[in-house]
Amino acid sequence: MRLGINTFLFTSPFTNESTKLFPQFKKWGFETIEIPIEDPSHIDPAHVKRELDKYGLVCGSVCACMGRIVICAATPSSRRPASST
């Protein structure tokens, strides 16, 4: 079992700049990071991976935090924000 931390505790949205938190997480004894992605354009996955490796951390999970969207619609074009129902 690894001890992990979710970056939502310190920043939102998670961006490339948010990787500056990794050294502190490592100092606190965390081994794995949970990264909530609010917008995929906010990060470069290669950059995040390099920074994780640099500090001996792993990404234990990624959660999509994309807002309230109805995703069970038949086609992407028919999806709408859940609040419009």
The full DSSP string for 52-83 is: HHHTT-EEEEEEE---SB---SSSGGG--BGG
What is the Cα–Cα distance from 78 to 84, expressed in whole angstroms? 12
Average pLDDT, the chain: 86
Tokens for 9, please give them: 């505790």
> Residues 30-47: pLDDT tens digits?
999 999 998 889 999 999
Mean of pLDDT values over 12-38: 96
Write down the pTM of the prediction. 0.75
User: How many domains does one find in the chain?
Assistant: 1
Structural domain for 55, as ranges: 4-84
List the one residue out of 7, 29, 4, 38 whose CA is nearest residue 20.
Answer: 7
Residue indicated by tokens 């961006």: 15
